[in-house]
Amino acid sequence: MRAAVIVFPGSNCDRDMAVALKAAGADVSMVWHKDATLPEGVDLVAVPGGFSFGDYLRCGAIAAQSPVSQAIVAHVERGGYALGVCNGFQVLTETGLLPGALMRNAGLKFLCKTVGLKVATTASAFTEGYAKGDVVNYPVAHHDGNYTADAETLAVLQGEDRIAFTYAQNPNGSVADIAGVLSENRRVLGMMPHPERAVDAGHGGTDGKALFAGLLGQLTAA
Amino acid sequence: MKARVHVMLKNGVLDPQGAAVKHALGTLGFAGVEDVRQGKVIELELAEGTTEATIGEMCEKLLANTVIESYRVEVL
């Protein structure tokens, strides 16, 4: 599987993401935000965490207008896979590839801790390695992770089984405890918690491994 | 020409920052602050003749996230 990790000015989880993908067996290239095209044959685009463009205007808003973002949209429209983590999730909502928006945490504090997540669906390449209802531990590190969507959007997400993960204990005020959502074709996942920071015993846990392994399994077979 | 864009969270979207400001005003002893909503003001210096439709497009594409925010344009 070929993966591209996008690098914006202010990205800071790009190398962690690359390490996690490589450990799972992916062939990884780093793509600078000014590149208007992705490397040939990319199966997965990973949009990493960080503070792209200093979070100016809104988190992810400026990054969503980068040349590479047009390439990401085209990749997804072709049926390509994408994973957005933390700031990457914010970027994917700002591009319109995922519904809803991420607002300031309800408690107003920057949260940096490990949280329990419930696997809400296993019907995706990202979550098929888990069992439904599994509780996995991933770190979160964000100030703007309060997921919001209007009632209609929420009903669609619930009706189409597109909520990938929910918080066991809601840390940030997200509607319906949502920690991660899938696109309509289930090939784009955006989530605030960091699976790439839970793939090595040195991280304090390896619950994120199954996400990358599932993705590799699905995409290598395809 | 100049335009001023006011960006606010939509009605019904909870505003945690506004709530914190309201709380702080109460702590300072100001009674009767019933609600606080916090938004942004963006001032644009524009070439003469820029249409309101173009400014609206700027708001839709970048200045506001219309999933959660509403905007109002004031041409000065």
Q: What is the pLDDT along chain A (222 residues), one digit of tens a residue?
A: 999 999 999 999 999 999 999 999 999 999 999 999 999 999 999 999 999 999 999 999 999 999 999 999 999 999 999 999 999 999 999 999 999 999 999 999 999 999 999 999 999 999 999 999 999 999 999 999 999 999 999 999 999 999 999 999 999 999 999 999 999 999 999 999 999 999 999 999 999 999 999 999 988 865
Within 8 A of B14 by CB-CB distance, chain A residues are 103, 106, 148, 173
* Residue B66, min C-alpha distance to chain A (Å): 10
Alpha-carbon span A102 to A140, nearest angstrom? 14
Whether the CB of B66 is below 8 Å from some CB of chain A: the reply is: no
Taking residues B31-59, what's their average pLDDT?
96
Helix runs in chain B, H state only = 16-27, 52-58
| pLDDT on residue A222 | 54
A161 burial type by CB count under 10 A (0-12 exposed, 13-18 middle, 19+ buried): middle
- Residue in chain A nearest B66 by alpha carbon: A101
Q: Which residues contact A172 (CB under 8 A, 6 or more apart)?
A: A105, A106, A107, A111, A140, A142, A145, A146, A147, A192
Q: Which domains does chain B have, with CATH numbers?
A: 2-75 (3.30.1280.10)
Residue A138: beta bridge partners? Answer: A115
Tell me: pLDDT of B59 over 80: yes
| pLDDT on residue B12 | 85
What is the identity of the amino acid at B25? Answer: L
Alpha-carbon span A44 to B51, nearest angstrom? 41
The average confidence (pLDDT) of chain B is 95
* Residue B44, min C-alpha distance to chain A (Å): 14
Alpha-carbon span A219 to A83, nearest angstrom? 13
Contact A130, A119 (CB under 8 A): yes
Contact B17, B31 (CB under 8 A): no
What confidence category does residue B57 fall into, taking pLDDT thresholds of 50, 70 and 90? very high
Strand arrangement, sheet containing B39-45 = B39-45, B2-9, B69-75
Contact A107, A172 (CB under 8 A): yes
Within 8 A of A100 by CB-CB distance, chain B residues are 67
Identify the sign of the CA torsion A109, A137, A43, A18: positive
CA distances from A25 to A3, A19, A40, A47, A195 (A): 10, 10, 18, 18, 16
Residues 40-99 of chain A whose Cβ lies under 8 A from any Cβ of chain B: 57-58, 61, 65, 93-94, 99
| pLDDT on residue A221 | 66
Put simply, the answer to whether B13 touches A99 (Cβ < 8 Å) is no
The dihedral region occupied by A75, where left means phi > 0, alpha psi between -120 and 50, and beta the remainder, is alpha
Q: Residue B51 carries which DSSP code?
A: -
Tokens 């942004």 — which residue?
B40
Evaluate whether ipTM surpasses 0.85: yes
What confidence category does residue B14 fall into, taking pLDDT thresholds of 50, 70 and 90? confident
* Chain B interface mutation, best of A58, A98, A174, highest count of B Cβ atoms under 10 Å: A58
